[in-house]
Structure 1
């Protein structure tokens, strides 16, 4: 049986690649974007499989309406892909409340609202999958990505609990942690106002973000294929880092955390009340 996908940010990057992969598998994709005209070429090529829907994931009031309409027309939603996102560069001190809250609206509150909206339909059928597009920055971080990683850490923590909650109900959760892929993510980045004191630490990150777009080694089509493979597996992983850089960064970070805990284990354990 073909599946029904609901993909946010389907007009570019991973969203477009996942949409194309799902269509190639014979599935139907409800492809959302803030501007549906950016989906015209996909709809023209696959008029019976791609349905464009206007949705800004920060418009949580509209999310319930969109999900209810999709479920009514198709009878089900098999896969939700929370992909819509953007990046931001700035030291924590440089980042304003407005900048931080705006990023959380896109990466945390939007996915949370969409997840809540689709779960009753998935629970009723005791099947479904929720794909959360995180980043290797959802496992580790460095200077300049405080705000971005804060949102991805939050998304991953939420998703880990979600997986425990819905796994017994037949619903899968897959957190995808890409490295550097050619998605245009840095083309739409926002920047905090610079403070000179952070020139040496955040400066290299700013320069990387300004020059890397279009040269990233990762292929979004291969990422989409890996995601479909993981979803089809009998034991879908909770986390799937994608790209050699992501695998190396995440495993290196985990090794560093383990080493630091080992170095401080005696002090850390000796904190109970004396018996």
Structure 2
């Protein structure tokens, strides 16, 4: 039996990953800022330990990891799922709004990972699962700062995969497309305090208007997505980055094709910027 530690397990993808791990016969530490917000089935399951956790609170992280180690002897899989969204044109987002987003989506992930890694290194094994987004490989209008936070998650996850390989620890970034969860509700998604009218009718605000239309009609199934994430995390060779959903795969292919097309006319000049060799 493996022990999972899932942040942001009160609903959506985090809750479904916890359920998928339990279905394998594993144990799960399920965390949320308020444990009363955790689904009743997760709170009551005999192989779960509910723990109150705000990943922006270093002391709370240390306490939660201590509980997990005392209860199960260690943590085999850490799922860095806690996060939220932020919409708005880059110009509209204030420094305070951007920093608040990064405190949760990026620095919370870093702090959580740092707290777990000493236990995984001593055990000589472990798996890190970082929940990124298709917005982590494609900058999209109206989502610039959220994209930036998920680009950061992708970079951290890839670096960890190389850094931790000597210790027998794997790191995987999963990058879902739009899932039919509560993520587009105002409880999970923030808007900037000011809206600049000049952006009305432009791509940045088209994205803002799209949210209300798309909410709870998204194509992605969180249950199937969670099952795939758990399958990949427990496989012999997890991919460093795994797109989840048809829209995520399509946008990745579009992004790779665009990057290749944009590189080609500049390839020779780019390669020619090195010092000449004798």
For Structure 1 versus Structure 2, the TM-score category normalised by the shorter chain is over 0.9
How many angstroms apart in 2 are the aligned matches of 1:77 and 1:7? 10
CA distance in 1, matches of 2:117, 2:67: 15
Number of the residue aligned with 1:263: 265
Gaps of 5+ in 2: none
Distance, in Å, in 2 between the alignment partners of 1:137 and 1:213 is 17
- Which structure 1 residue ranges, 5 or more long, are not aligned? none
C-alpha distance in structure 1 between counterparts of 2:9 and 2:43, whole Å: 15
Deviates more, 1:91-100 or 1:56-65: 56-65
1-structure distance, mates of 2:42, 2:6: 14
| CA distance in 2 between partners of 1:263 and 1:196 (Å) | 37
8 Å Cα contact 1:21-1:224 kept in structure 2 = yes
Matched residue, 1:130: 128
The answer as to 2:189 corresponding to 1:189 is yes
CA RMSD of aligned residues (A): 1.2
| Structure 1 residues 118-267: aligned runs within 5 Å | 118-187=116-185, 188-192=188-192, 193-199=194-200, 200-267=202-269
Report runs of 4+ in structure 1 exceeding 6 Å deviation: none
Structure 2 partner of 1:10: 9
8 Å contact 1:127–1:169 — kept in the other structure?
Answer: yes
1:116 to 109, 114, 117: 114
- Residue deviations 1:125-166, cap 9 Å, x none? 111101000000001121101110000001111111110011
Q: Answer whether contact 1:13 1:183 (CA < 8 A) is retained.
A: yes
**Paired positions, count:** 273
Contact 2:79 2:129 in 1 (8 A): yes
Q: Within 2, Cα distance between the matches of 1:186 and 1:40?
A: 19
Secondary structure of 1:30's aligned partner: strand
Q: Distance in 1 between matches of 2:214 and 2:115?
A: 36
TM-score by length of 1: 0.96
Structure 1 CA distance, aligned partners of 2:146 and 2:43? 35
Q: Secondary structure at the match of 1:131?
A: strand
Decide whether the 8 Å contact of 2:43 with 2:49 is kept in 1: no
Could you say what secondary structure the match of 1:121 adopts?
helix
Give TM-score, length-normalised by structure 2. 0.95
Q: Which residue of 1 aligns with 2:38?
A: 39
Query: Whole-Å Cα distance in 1 between the matches of residues 215 and 71 of structure 2?
Result: 39
Question: 1:274 Cα deviation (Å)?
Answer: 4.4
